[in-house]
């Protein structure tokens, strides 16, 4: 099925925003890099914020679908899946197009918690937390919510360190720390 123009615009804009950031990406850059005219953009979105929200929703859907599927492909046990998170993260970090987390970037660029961009970024993290809490419950971990919070800290920290080039083994280091946490929560 051929994507419609709106979907095509959002998909192309996702790449531009991910590569350049939200504030640094103006409408002229979007026109140039997506090949979609301003008239067509404004036909589908009233303003740049609406387009950014659509981009974040698409990124959320794509990323979570990929991550959850990949975790389940790596391990078929809940306990193993909690560690497989970091194997999947390492795969992502190794991609040539890896530029960090779009949601971390969005929350840094739009720091007011009431801003819709910030709220969308926070919602993405909340859904990941809920997923990891569910996996921790299936693994019969003590304090699954606490473990999920700790795994999120390791996950988010590894993303930042990998993106900044500070630690090329950030996912592996986070996985080792996560293994210690699992031992504590068994």
Whether residue 30 is predicted with pLDDT greater than 70 in this model: the reply is yes
| Model pTM above 0.75 | yes
Categorize the per-residue pLDDT at 3 as very low, low, confident or very high, splitting at 50, 70 and 90. low
Q: How confident is the model at residue 2 (pLDDT cuts 50, 70, 90)?
A: low
pLDDT in tens, 70-87: 999 999 999 999 999 999
C-alpha distances (whole Å) from 105 to each of 21, 114, 144, 159 are: 7, 16, 28, 11
- Give the Cα separation of 166 and 160 in Å (integer): 9
Residue 144, phi then psi, degrees to nearest 5: -60, -35
Instruction: Report the share of the chain in percent with pLDDT over 70.
Output: 98
**Domains (ranges, CATH) in the chain?**
53-185 (1.10.357.10)
Mean residue pLDDT across the chain? 95
Return contacts of 59-63, CB within 8 angstroms, 24+ apart. Answer: 59/14, 59/18, 59/102, 59/103, 59/124, 60/103, 60/120, 60/123, 60/124, 60/127, 63/124
Mean pLDDT of 115-141: 98
Query: Is 56's pLDDT higher than 60?
Result: yes
């Amino acid at each position: 099925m051929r994507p419609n123009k709106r979907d095509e615009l959002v998909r192309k804009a996702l790449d531009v925003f991910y590569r350049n950031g939200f504030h640094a990406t103006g409408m002229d850059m979007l026109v140039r890099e997506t090949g979609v005219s301003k008239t067509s953009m404004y036909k589908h979105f009233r303003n740049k914020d609406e387009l950014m929200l659509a981009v974040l929703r698409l990124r959320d859907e794509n990323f979570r679908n990929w991550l959850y599927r990949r975790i389940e492909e790596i391990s078929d046990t809940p306990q193993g899946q909690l560690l497989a998170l970091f194997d999947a993260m390492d795969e992502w970090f190794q991609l040539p197009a890896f530029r960090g987390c779009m949601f971390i970037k969005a929350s840094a660029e739009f720091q007011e918690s009431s801003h819709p961009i910030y709220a969308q970024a926070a919602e993405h993290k909340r859904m990941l937390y809920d997923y990891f809490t569910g996996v921790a419950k299936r693994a019969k971990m003590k304090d699954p919510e606490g473990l999920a919070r700790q795994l999120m800290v390791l996950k988010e920290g590894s993303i930042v360190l990998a993106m900044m080039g500070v630690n090329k083994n950030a996912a592996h280091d986070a996985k080792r720390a996560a293994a210690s946490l699992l031992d504590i929560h068994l």
